Structure 1
Amino acid sequence: MGNDILGLPVAEFTLTCYVMPYVIYDFCHVPWKLKGIVNEQCSKSRQSPINIVTKKTKLNHLLTPLKFTGYQEAFRSTLKNNGHSVTITVPHVATVSEGNLLNTYRAVQFHFHWGKDGGPGSEHTVDGEQYPMEMHIVHMRQDFKNLDAALGDPTGVAVLGFFYEVPLSNRKYDGFIEALKNVVESGSNTTIDGISLSNLIPSEGNMTNYYRYSGSLTTPSCTEAVVWTVFENPIPLSHDQLSAFSKLKFHGGKSMVKTFRPVQPRKGRVVYRSGSSVLLASFTLLLLCVTSALGLSQFN
């Protein structure tokens, strides 16, 4: 038995439609086959990732800033090369809520999708632009006992997606990038210490702009149980830092590059964009107008 990107057991498979070196079947447009088993989930109507067309997004003032708890807590965990990405389990209670999430979600793990040596590699795209890498922090609704149970509910899982860009080096990632040298081979793992989720993501002030839609896991089983939040502002990394991911190896020994699923049809789904900053600006402008009007009236 193999494991998918979330660590859930599935039939042993070769990842397909990821522009990988050993494609056996295409699940971009047709059901995905696991050694002769067709997975119909991968051809349903709410698949991820998608191309976010900004002019078609719908402003939602309920998408206020998210509330993070436990994100600043430093932790010790295992960094693992699982044969198709690198994953880290979150061993303590860290949650995300508010921002029109109807529940509180607890962080389970995070992983990455990337291109080749800093080339295009994100799963989601924005107006057709593909970023070099994308991180997914996977959360499950805290009223579920485990991730498997959460995936049985249409809102059971919340994934936060973060893009990366290449303008400069990011010192906060130095320890993490260094640890990648210890997990080059598929199946290898190493202990990583002193990292925190808050150090890996932008400051909260830079996370007010985001997109929200209903979708799926981006790897088999492609279960449509994910509330997606994709942040607009990318995280900076240098070209050398991004290239470090391409030195890892797939199961079978080939270079682990282009580990993304191509965008899937939106099929009528609405993608919402956050409106808290717009709402605050409008309120401030209204307040200034009212104050000005009241001030002028005193001289009439």
Structure 2
Amino acid sequence: MWSETFPVCAGRRQSPINLEYFSIVNRKFPPFLFSQNFEEYLLFTLKNNGHTIVGELAPQTPSSIILELTGGGLPGIFQFTNFHLHWGGSPSEGSEHTINALHGAGEAHFVFTNPITKQIAVLAFFIVISADQQQSAWRSYVDNAVTLIHEGIQVPFITNLMQLMETENNFQDFWRYDGSLTTPPCTESVICE
């Protein structure tokens, strides 16, 4: 129904998709490079935007704090825009993307924008429920997110982006495709990884 208000939502390169192990083309990319501020604890604002809980750098963040992503075959320098999480009613249906038609418990998106071309890149990670979830970097996010029950409400949130993006393969193995934002305005030409 989104396409009735946002025509792009009926486009040809819409996300999410089903990722299939046997339908991929293997390619090599240079490593992703993250600016050093990704390793620091920074102040963010968590806000209920009506679709999910979005984390953005707090407005009072000094201009010297730079969160840039390069490498990985990306065309240019991309600056951090926001992070957010998608989840469902059970651990078997929370992710937007699927792998061989199977959902993950949830899916974290880290959105970046090239300030020159305005192209968007999204690093997406499947959330896996584990016995050690009390120690998860996402625990504090969830504890704050559940308080934001009305659209527009926000709270301060301190976190380390690299801990949120913790991955076993250190960003070496990933899928890439040209897709879209998964909610309106459903902008296409998004690099999805």
Q: TM-score, normalised by structure 1?
A: 0.57
Question: For each residue in 1:70-117, what CA deviation from the matched residue of structure 2 results, as whole angstroms up to 9, or x when unmatched?
Answer: 211211121111222000113542111111112111111111111114
Please name the residue that 1:261 is paired with.
none
Please name the residue that 2:153 is paired with.
188
Letter in 1 for 2:141: F
SS at 1:166 equivalent: coil
* Max Rg structure: 1
Task: Indicate which of 140, 145, 166 corresponds to 1:175.
Answer: 140
Question: For each residue in 1:223-246, what CA deviation from the matched residue of structure 2 results, as whole angstroms up to 9, or x when unmatched?
Answer: 1121111xxxxxxxxxxxxxxxxx
1:56 aligns with 2:23: yes
Task: Indicate which of 56, 75, 98 corresponds to 1:89.
Answer: 56
Stretches of structure 1 that go unaligned for 5 or more consecutive residues are 1-24, 145-149, 151-155, 230-300
Distance, in Å, in 2 between the alignment partners of 1:113 and 1:201 is 15
Please name the residue that 2:79 is paired with.
106
Please name the residue that 1:249 is paired with.
none
Identity of aligned residues (%): 29
Distance, in Å, in 2 between the alignment partners of 1:121 and 1:204 is 20
Q: TM-score, normalised by structure 2?
A: 0.87
Greater share of residues in strand: 2
Distance, in Å, in 2 between the alignment partners of 1:106 and 1:183 is 26
Please name the residue that 2:180 is paired with.
216
What is the CA-CA distance between 1:59 and the residue it aligns to?
0.6
Question: For each residue in 1:199-245, what CA deviation from the matched residue of structure 2 results, as whole angstroms up to 9, or x when unmatched?
Answer: 1012574321101111111111211121111xxxxxxxxxxxxxxxx
Distance, in Å, in 1 between the alignment partners of 2:21 and 2:130 is 23
Task: Indicate which of 113, 133, 141 corresponds to 2:114.
Answer: 141
1:67 aligns with 2:33: yes
Distance, in Å, in 1 between the alignment partners of 2:96 and 2:112 is 18
The answer to whether the 8 Å contact 1:111/1:137 transfers is yes
What is the CA-CA distance between 1:162 and the residue it aligns to?
0.6
Structure 1 residues 98 and 81: alpha-carbon distance in aligned structure 2, compared to 1, 3 A threshold: same
Alignment of 1:234-249 (within 5 A): none
- Identify the range of structure 1 (120-129 vs 201-210) with the bigger mean alpha-carbon deviation: 201-210
Distance, in Å, in 2 between the alignment partners of 1:203 and 1:68 is 14
SS at 1:225 equivalent: strand
Equivalences, count: 184
Distance, in Å, in 2 between the alignment partners of 1:173 and 1:132 is 13
The answer to whether the 8 Å contact 2:45/2:57 transfers is no
Distance, in Å, in 2 between the alignment partners of 1:140 and 1:119 is 31
Distance, in Å, in 1 between the alignment partners of 2:10 and 2:139 is 39
What is the CA-CA distance between 1:133 and the residue it aligns to?
0.6
Letter in 2 for 1:183: L
Greater share of residues in helix: 1
Distance, in Å, in 2 between the alignment partners of 1:212 and 1:218 is 15
Please name the residue that 1:198 is paired with.
162
Q: CA RMSD in A?
A: 1.8
The answer to whether the 8 Å contact 2:18/2:101 transfers is yes
